[in-house]
Chains A and B, each alone.
Chain A
Amino acid sequence: MSDLSQRPADAVVGETMPHESAALHVTGRAIYTDDLVPRTKGVLHAWPVQAPHAHARITDLRVDAAYDEPGVVRVLTADDVPGLNDSGIKHDEPIFPTEVMYHGQAVCWVLGETLEAARRGALRIEVDYEPLPALLTVKEAIAAKSFQGVMPGAGRGDVEAALAAAPHVFEGETEMAGQEQFYLETQSSLAEVDDGGQVFVQSSTQHPTETQEVVAHVLGLSSHSVTVQCLRMGGGFGGKETQANAYAAVAALGASLTGRPTRVRLTRAQDITLTGKRHGFHASWRVGFAEDGRLLALDTTLTADGGWSLDLSEPVLARAICHVDNAYWIPTVRIHGRVARTNKTSQTAFRGFGGPQGMLVIEDILGRCAPLLGVDPLDLRRRNFYAEGQETPYGQPVRQTDRAVTAWEQVMTTGDVTQRQHEIAEFNAAHPHTKRALAMTPVKFGISFNLTAFNQAGALVHVYKDGSVLINHGGTEMGQGLHTKMLQVAATALGVPLSKVRLAPTRTDKVPNTSATAASSGSDLNGAAVKHACEQINARLAEVDDGRGLPWEELVHEAYFARVPLFAAGYYRTEGLHWDASVFRGTPFKYFAYGVAAAEVEVDGFTGAYRTRRVDIVHDVGDSLSPLVDLGQIEGGFVQGAGWLTLEDLRWDTSDGEQRGRLTTQAASTYKLPSFSEMPEDFRVAMLEHAHEEGAVYGSKAVGEPPLMLAFSVREALRQACAAFGPPGVSVELPSPATPEAVYWALDAARQAAATPEPAGA
């Protein structure tokens, strides 16, 4: 057992405790970035002018009339930028563009004494546009060969030969929609400049260091002149990994030009029309199966809909390619990937970061092919699980494959799956207008940033003379319970009660050069860094104690007078990773997180409406650092995944009319998130037991993203329920999202199949 994973007997980690801010949340006292505004004097408010074209050249911009509006203080345009007019990490995202690349793109910003004044001022600004042709859908982009960034590929073996030799070969296409993060707190930033010219930006950002860097390059400053603080976020889900940067930069620019605190807080409509979302993907595939249903070969091309700029599309695509296999061994495989450039928001990180899109391809293939192979989908999936030591398509040996098997068997048993399948068959036989189905799907998700350099973290731990402890680390809190876990880690590492430890907000002047709180890595990386800092202090205190066993306060007091430093910087880098992006091979992941879900749904044959009757999950979180937090991540991730796959329906105007490119679902009234009615009516979640993770902090595993993909079970159950309306062996193509309308047409097609001869298998 490694030092890192070893857990002392009286550990605070592993205790069930509420979120560290729960009492503040429920009493309305937790402060979010925009809550600072009424607590700050003289704040200016910002409002964007948004372009009404998906693609257009700006031929003239006249801002003077805005100043006639009472309360308008300043209009920000490209001319005001002292540094680089760009908010992107690839330098392809001008903040003040000369060419509009998507409908709703911000052209310039108005600052006002009130938000109302800024809004009225924005209405007065005149922009002349020369509209240009726009590509909206990924298929349009493919046809136009509109791609951006690298086009990676992974593979093993001779796919053509393997497909030629396979007894069963099928081909098809799979399309899946993106997803709006819809964090309840929209993007917000508040920037101030002090007497020394130091810029202080409070931002709802998952990546304070990058926000700092972008603000610095926009203002033409060095990083040491910019400090970014993130108090907490009202949800992030990846949507604040890069997307906060532009708005922090606008706020900082406003503050530096006016000398007044400047606030940017997007309205919901602005947020949803301006910022990036989960990538929609298109996949074309050919797949070969053995007689018994074992996968023999897969050839697939993934096209991510990147939107107007690159942002994180390349790493999202990389993770998608790395997850096409999910938990299944595919002996011969070829995966190509590319990023389409379209005139939409620049799509970005969202929980799973391409992993869900990659996995959906193989789950869609298995769900569609199972009836054609005459194999029960449950058996087909189980039969294709990895065995220990087999390698992924990118060459990483798969460890802990027994965990997928154990979780699968536990769900089968505790979920009473066989018995319920009988009951479902009986129910379906007795009900012509209502059908039920149960599906099980596994998850295998790689943990670590694909790019090795990001797998490092820092922490700062202070012990004060009275024995109280203050910790800082590089991770941000977005509701995932990272800070709760870090408090538990610090208390465990120092051997003090939780009440001794406080955690301060994330700031770039406390811990520099941090990675984004992303890729589920927050606890792994920052937890190890916090632990490392604590252990340095422990070592020094142990010398002072010299075996006497002094109480903590006494020991700390004595150490101070012995002139022993009571603070330490902790650092951690994940060992054993390597990744060669040029050949798309290596061991990018420290380990895999596993889980299995069984979902039972009921579908109304009249309308396609459905409900999730029961969900059973067994998920691998290692030895949990904080069980209530982890349970929340599993349940919440699952429901969010189900939202992506069934309900959440981003629609752009793809007509040739004047509104072409406009997002038509830009409000909570038209873009529906899961509500209480989508919660599984019976929801049973267990964490895999005996799941110690060697080499991770206190034996735990990352949990942020993997559970989202357990929701494939819902989609597959819907597919099977649709099939139950048709003749045996009917293969159902189900769009994603599987809205009630999509389900209706799918079940209607299955019903029609009863009247027509079965299509010949390929």
Chain B
Amino acid sequence: MSEITVNGGALSLDGVAPHTTALDFLRDRGLTGAKEGCAEGECGACCVLVARPPADGSPGTEWTSVNACLISAASLADQEVVTAEGLGTPDHLHPVQREMAERGGSQCGYCTPGFVCSMAAEYYRHDRGTSPSTNGTHPAEPENGFDLHALSGNLCRCTGYRPIQDAAYALGQPPADDPFAVRRTAPAPAPRPTTLEADGAAFVRPRDLAHALELLADDGAVAVAGATDVGVEINLRGSRPALMVAVDRLDELRGLDWTGDELRIGAALSLTEIERRLAGRVPVLDELFWQFASRPIRNGATLGGNLGTGSPIGDSPPVLLALGADVVLVSPDGERRVPLADYFTGYRASVRRQGELIKEVVVPLPVAPLTAFHKIAKRRYDDISSVAVGFALDVADGIVRDAKIGLGGVAATPIRARDTEVALAGRPWTQQTVDEAAAVLATEGTPIDDQRSSARYRSAMLGQSLRKLFAESTEEVPA
């Protein structure tokens, strides 16, 4: 019999349907602190804390904020969850709760439990205040080391955020006897093979990769890691997969190896794990991470998922295309390695066959000296690209030796800007070259008009992104 430990007590998963979200599971059991605001992981009102191994690979446990509206309750079998109710009580407020309450961090209060959980996750980050954040995108890094991106996945419609920021920046370090701080020193619950069946559907956490591949051979099977895409399909589009196969904790998919000539990234590592483990070694990936959805999403989302769903507006493909990455696909028949540039075949379609799983992404080293990721969107935090451009240019002695440019949002798939690459290669890195190549870049792809932006703007932004890259590489641009 499977159960989840919630706020220190066990809740049974008996009879729980595989498609039941963790949020509905908690709320049905009277834990109504976590709320549904959007059901797609955008607003964070549903955020709860899960005890996970630290994202940076260190031993112990990390309190991780996740969107309970996206993950299935079944995926939390044998795991530990803490909700806003479990952090403190009105008579004994948790330090995060006290700061939020006293500083006016809540007005209607509906988003507040989710904010409290995201803020608590950052409060308990073991290296907070000791290592500078890897992205300087928000000014005035506070003395307590609180990374505001921890709250990038939480929306508040009432306060205007200033008091919430003040609450976050006022937090000290947890006292030594804080039970949640103490809990960090013991290992996180290990994943256990699980099978849950109800309502004619099943959720299976397989024993190992071979088991997973065996299950995924089934037509109705879907591989699930952070559920940041599957969860949206279930909640908003009525998708009800017959079999969900959890791949997020399979060791075979969770490596991160930096060898002399390549970087191998496991397909089931969360983006947060990749970010923390790379620790800034690939600067263009650091430009990507903070712009990729939000912290709670990155705590679940994986490269395997981002490439597997094959969206033309995924944020990782433009960068990975520019980096010349390959995708390693695995099936019961063995492994094969495909250049990412040849991977996508059409709208949400790829060379990946039924039953085949993305195992890892391989980035050749060294990375080109001039790299950048430009994301054009309406909102800086947690938005979907109108256009995204990844650049990797080998510029030496004023000459562009090689150029790779990946584009998102301008075609049915992510694409390489081949014509522009040709227009740059071998040319001097000058304004004239850039203007000529930018004119070519603005004609790449077949952008469309939609609710995010016009086709005309998308094309214009392609050209502008190269001009901006040039300006930033040659002159001082204000931060």
A residues within 8 Å of B by Cβ? 18-19, 21-32, 34-35, 38-39, 119, 123, 182-186, 232-237, 267-269, 427, 431, 433-434, 478-481, 602, 604, 606-607, 609, 611, 628-629, 631-632, 635-640, 647, 649, 651, 664-665, 667-670, 672-681, 683, 739-741, 744-745, 748
How distant is the Cα of A683 from the Cα of B471 in the complex, in angstroms? 31
Closest 5 pairs (CB-CB, A-B): A28-B33, A479-B108, A234-B110, A25-B109, A639-B160
How distant is the Cα of A186 from the Cα of B157 in the complex, in angstroms? 12
How distant is the Cα of A628 from the Cα of B29 in the complex, in angstroms? 35
Please, which residues of chain A bring their CB within 8 A of the CB of B386? Answer: 741
Q: Does B159 contact A (CB under 8 A)?
A: yes
Please, which residues of chain B bring their CB within 8 A of the CB of A676? Answer: 138, 148, 151-152, 161, 165, 381
Please, which residues of chain A bring their CB within 8 A of the CB of B382? Answer: 675
1/0 per residue, CB under 8 A from A, across B17-46: the answer is 000000000011111111111111011010
* B162 close to A635 (CB less than 8 A): yes
Q: Does B211 contact A (CB under 8 A)?
A: no
Given contacts A636-B158, A668-B155, contact A27 B32 (CB under 8 A): no
How distant is the Cα of A18 from the Cα of B116 in the complex, in angstroms? 16
* B107 close to A31 (CB less than 8 A): no
* B381 close to A31 (CB less than 8 A): no
Q: Interface-forming stretch among B186-194, B280-288, B412-420, B460-468?
A: B460-468
* A609 close to B380 (CB less than 8 A): yes
Q: Does B169 contact A (CB under 8 A)?
A: no
Please, which residues of chain B bring their CB within 8 A of the CB of A28? Answer: 31-34, 83-85, 112-113, 116
* A27 close to B97 (CB less than 8 A): yes
How distant is the Cα of A611 from the Cα of B379 in the complex, in angstroms? 10
B residues within 8 Å of A by Cβ? 27-40, 42-43, 45, 83-85, 87-90, 93, 96-98, 100-102, 104-113, 116, 138-140, 148, 151-152, 155-163, 165, 232, 236, 238, 374, 376-384, 386, 450-454, 457, 460-461, 464-465, 467-468, 471, 477-478
Given contacts A606-B468, A675-B379, contact A30 B109 (CB under 8 A): yes
Please, which residues of chain A bring their CB within 8 A of the CB of B140? Answer: 681
Closest-CB distance, A244 to chain B (whole angstroms):
15
* B453 close to A741 (CB less than 8 A): yes
* A479 close to B107 (CB less than 8 A): yes
Please, which residues of chain A bring their CB within 8 A of the CB of B97? Answer: 23, 26-27
Q: Which residue from chain B places its CB closest to the CB of A685 in the assembled complex? A: B162
How distant is the Cα of A434 from the Cα of B468 in the complex, in angstroms? 11
How distant is the Cα of A38 from the Cα of B102 in the complex, in angstroms? 30
Please, which residues of chain A bring their CB within 8 A of the CB of B383? Answer: 672
Please, which residues of chain A bring their CB within 8 A of the CB of B161? Answer: 639, 674-676, 679
Contacting residue for B236 out of A234, A481, A647, A667, CB 8 A:
A667
Given contacts A606-B471, A670-B452, contact A25 B27 (CB under 8 A): no
How distant is the Cα of A300 from the Cα of B381 in the complex, in angstroms? 39
How distant is the Cα of A673 from the Cα of B454 in the complex, in angstroms? 20
* B106 close to A267 (CB less than 8 A): no
Please, which residues of chain A bring their CB within 8 A of the CB of B40? Answer: 268, 667-669
How distant is the Cα of A364 from the Cα of B108 in the complex, in angstroms? 32
18 more CB-based (< 8 A) A-B contacts, given A38-B32, A184-B35: A19-B107, A24-B109, A27-B88, A28-B83, A29-B89, A32-B32, A234-B109, A433-B468, A478-B108, A481-B107, A606-B467, A672-B378, A672-B379, A674-B161, A675-B152, A679-B160, A679-B161, A683-B162
How distant is the Cα of A437 from the Cα of B446 in the complex, in angstroms? 35
* B152 close to A606 (CB less than 8 A): no
Contacting residue for B163 out of A268, A632, A678, A748, CB 8 A:
A632
How distant is the Cα of A632 from the Cα of B34 in the complex, in angstroms? 23
* A18 close to B93 (CB less than 8 A): no
Please, which residues of chain B bring their CB within 8 A of the CB of A739? Answer: 378
Given contacts A25-B112, A26-B97, A434-B477, contact A235 B157 (CB under 8 A): yes
Please, which residues of chain A bring their CB within 8 A of the CB of B45? Answer: 184
Please, which residues of chain B bring their CB within 8 A of the CB of A748? Answer: 460
Please, which residues of chain B bring their CB within 8 A of the CB of A606? Answer: 464-465, 467-468, 471
How distant is the Cα of A118 from the Cα of B118 in the complex, in angstroms? 33
* A27 close to B106 (CB less than 8 A): no
Q: Which residue from chain A places its CB closest to the CB of B43 in the assembled complex? A: A668
* A677 close to B108 (CB less than 8 A): no
12 cross-chain CB contacts under 8 A: A18-B104, A19-B106, A25-B101, A26-B113, A28-B34, A31-B32, A38-B30, A479-B107, A479-B110, A649-B451, A668-B155, A675-B380
Closest-CB distance, A650 to chain B (whole angstroms):
9
* B109 close to A19 (CB less than 8 A): yes
Please, which residues of chain B bring their CB within 8 A of the CB of A22? Answer: 100-102, 104, 106, 109
Q: Which residue from chain B places its CB closest to the CB of A678 in the assembled complex? A: B379
How distant is the Cα of A679 from the Cα of B374 in the complex, in angstroms? 22
* A679 close to B104 (CB less than 8 A): no
Contacting residue for B106 out of A25, A647, A667, A678, CB 8 A:
A25
How distant is the Cα of A320 from the Cα of B31 in the complex, in angstroms? 44
Given contacts A667-B236, A741-B457, contact A18 B102 (CB under 8 A): yes
Please, which residues of chain A bring their CB within 8 A of the CB of B465? Answer: 606-607
* B93 close to A27 (CB less than 8 A): yes
Closest-CB distance, B471 to chain A (whole angstroms):
6
Given contacts A18-B101, A676-B152, contact A184 B87 (CB under 8 A): no
How distant is the Cα of A184 from the Cα of B38 in the complex, in angstroms? 8
Closest-CB distance, B1 to chain A (whole angstroms):
22
Closest-CB distance, B8 to chain A (whole angstroms):
15
Given contacts A434-B478, A683-B162, contact A269 B236 (CB under 8 A): yes
* B107 close to A636 (CB less than 8 A): yes
Closest-CB distance, A30 to chain B (whole angstroms):
5
* A27 close to B155 (CB less than 8 A): no
Please, which residues of chain A bring their CB within 8 A of the CB of B89? Answer: 27, 29
* B157 close to A183 (CB less than 8 A): yes
How distant is the Cα of A119 from the Cα of B238 in the complex, in angstroms? 9
Given contacts A27-B93, A269-B236, contact A185 B108 (CB under 8 A): yes
Please, which residues of chain A bring their CB within 8 A of the CB of B38? Answer: 268, 667-669
Closest-CB distance, A506 to chain B (whole angstroms):
15
Given contacts A184-B108, A434-B477, contact A26 B35 (CB under 8 A): no
Given contacts A31-B32, A669-B40, contact A183 B108 (CB under 8 A): yes
* B109 close to A679 (CB less than 8 A): no
Q: Which residue from chain A places its CB closest to the CB of B457 in the assembled complex? A: A741
Q: Which residue from chain B places its CB closest to the CB of A679 in the assembled complex? A: B161
Please, which residues of chain A bring their CB within 8 A of the CB of B236? Answer: 269, 667
Please, which residues of chain A bring their CB within 8 A of the CB of B162? Answer: 635, 679-680, 683
Q: Which residue from chain A places its CB closest to the CB of B109 in the assembled complex? A: A25
How distant is the Cα of A632 from the Cα of B105 in the complex, in angstroms? 9
* B90 close to A677 (CB less than 8 A): no
Closest-CB distance, A641 to chain B (whole angstroms):
10
Closest-CB distance, B286 to chain A (whole angstroms):
17
Q: Which residue from chain A places its CB closest to the CB of B468 in the assembled complex? A: A606
Please, which residues of chain B bring their CB within 8 A of the CB of A18? Answer: 101-102, 104
Please, which residues of chain B bring their CB within 8 A of the CB of A182? Answer: 157
* B29 close to A38 (CB less than 8 A): yes
Contacting residue for A38 out of B28, B34, B138, CB 8 A:
B28
Closest-CB distance, A714 to chain B (whole angstroms):
12
Contacting residue for B110 out of A235, A607, A678, CB 8 A:
A235
How distant is the Cα of A629 from the Cα of B158 in the complex, in angstroms? 11
How distant is the Cα of A667 from the Cα of B38 in the complex, in angstroms? 7
Please, which residues of chain B bring their CB within 8 A of the CB of A639? Answer: 159-161
Given contacts A22-B106, A607-B376, contact A741 B155 (CB under 8 A): no
* B27 close to A38 (CB less than 8 A): yes
Closest-CB distance, A761 to chain B (whole angstroms):
30
